[in-house]
Structure 1
Amino acid sequence: MTPAEIRERGLEALREALGPVGMARFLQQFARGSGDYTRDREEWLGGLTVQEVVKDIKSRRKRVR
């Protein structure tokens, strides 16, 4: 079988076993993202410590209430 045939049969099996919505939900679990999360996370958080993040979360929660 070609890769396209395998993909077609696999999707058909998923659709039969899970239904269209279940198949879509299953496939969403394997969608590839883009970028480099580790590098991006370092850029977002910088040198923040866990304690600083917790303090910020608590502060934001107080403002929302």
Structure 2
Amino acid sequence: MPKTQQEVIKQGYQALFNSLGVVDAIRFIQHFTPGQGDYTKERHEWLERTPLEDILTSMKQRQKDDAAQYEEIIE
């Protein structure tokens, strides 16, 4: 018999807790917490008041910054 969605979620959390421990499981879950707001509306507002040159500069800087993003150590 297939499991309910609630059963799968409960089993998934239990697997996380068993594998990582409570503290690290919570840290893992917090990493995927959804944001807030209306992204589409805010994006349009932001794009209307931000010069294209500033956006391109930001994109180039982000490329440099992203090169080291996976070197973060969490203690």
Report the TM-score when normalising by structure 1: 0.58
RMSD: 2.5
Return 5+ residue gaps in structure 2 as ranges: 59-75
Q: 1:32 aligns with which of 34, 38, 42?
A: 34
Cα-to-partner distance string for 1:5-48 (whole Å, 9 max, x where unaligned): 11111000000111111111111122222322242244356422
SS in 2 for 1:35: coil
Return 5+ residue gaps in structure 1 as ranges: 55-65
Moved more, 19-28 or 35-44: 35-44
SS in 2 for 1:7: helix
Q: Partners of 2:8 and 2:19 in 1: how far apart?
A: 16
- Hey, what does 2:10 align to over in structure 1? 8
Structure ranking higher on relative contact order (CA contacts 8 Å, 6+ apart): 1
Report the TM-score when normalising by structure 2: 0.52
- Hey, what does 2:24 align to over in structure 1? 22
Equivalent residue pairs, number: 53
Percent of pairs with identical residues: 40
